[in-house]
Amino acid sequence: MADSQQLTPLAKEVYSVLEREFPESSLEIEDQSFMHAGHAGAREHGGGHLVVKLISKDFEGLSRLERHRKVYQALEKELSENRIHALRLMLSSPKVSVEKPLV
The residue range of the domain holding 24 is 4-99
Are residues 12 and 4 in contact, defined by beta-carbon separation less than 8 angstroms? yes
DSSP character at residue 57: G
Look up the CATH number of the domain holding residue 14.
Answer: 3.30.300.90
pLDDT score, position 10:
87
DSSP character at residue 4: G
Prediction pTM value = 0.79
The mean per-residue pLDDT over the stretch 26-37 comes to 78
Q: Is 31 exposed, middle or buried (0-12, 13-18, 19+ CB in 10 A)?
A: buried
DSSP character at residue 66: H
pLDDT digits (tens, 9 = 90+) for 82-97: 888 889 999 999 987 6
Domain count, the chain: 1
Q: Cα separation of 77 and 61, whole Å?
A: 26
